[in-house]
Amino acid sequence: FLRQLCAVGGPTRDPRAPWALSVVYRALVQSDQLQPLAGKRIAGLTWRPADEVAEDKSLAFDHAVLVAQAATTTRAEVDQLDLPTGLMAETFTLGELQSTCEQVLGRKLDKSSFRRRLADQGLVEPVAGAMKGGANRPAQVYMLRMR
């Protein structure tokens, strides 16, 4: 899941240059699947919540604003059921999908409404014969429907 967010440029973005241009991409990845590595001029990297980073005034240039824009755009897409595929396994239960969407959105979703919207848009399909056990009864396993 890699998408271009925007391209920004101008004479006031970077005080070291007369004019600076950045092309901004965003990706959804599971933090346990990718370990960031520091480069030559960076002492260390850590995973931090997007909302925390968006409020960090110590970030260079307009980077906090760009992180906030990426989070807002991603949340709007998930709210419209453009599902966060980079954060999910290939197969999942509807409960797992809803939980992932709630984490991205930062709010709870109504279970029946969420499932009705998924069905109405035909976004997921059951994996025949696949069930996942849990604390309650087994749950049907799904995958994203290819369009």
Per-residue pLDDT at 147 exceeds 80: no
Tens-place pLDDT, residues 20-33? 999 999 998 888 88
Backbone angles phi and psi of 132, in degrees to 5: -125, 125
**What proportion of the chain, given as a percentage, has pLDDT over 70?**
98
Looking at every residue in the chain, the average pLDDT score rounds to 90
Query: CA–CA distance from 99 to each of 11, 76, 88 (Å)?
Result: 42, 16, 10
Tens-place pLDDT, residues 109-123? 999 999 999 999 999
| Residue 99 half-sphere exposure toward CB, CA atoms < 13 A | 7
pTM equals 0.85
Per-residue pLDDT at 51 exceeds 70: yes
Per-residue pLDDT at 47 exceeds 80: yes
pLDDT on residue 121: 93
Given pLDDT bands bounded at 50, 70 and 90, which one contains residue 133?
A: confident
Tens-place pLDDT, residues 69-122? 999 999 999 999 998 888 888 999 999 999 999 999 999 999 999 999 999 999
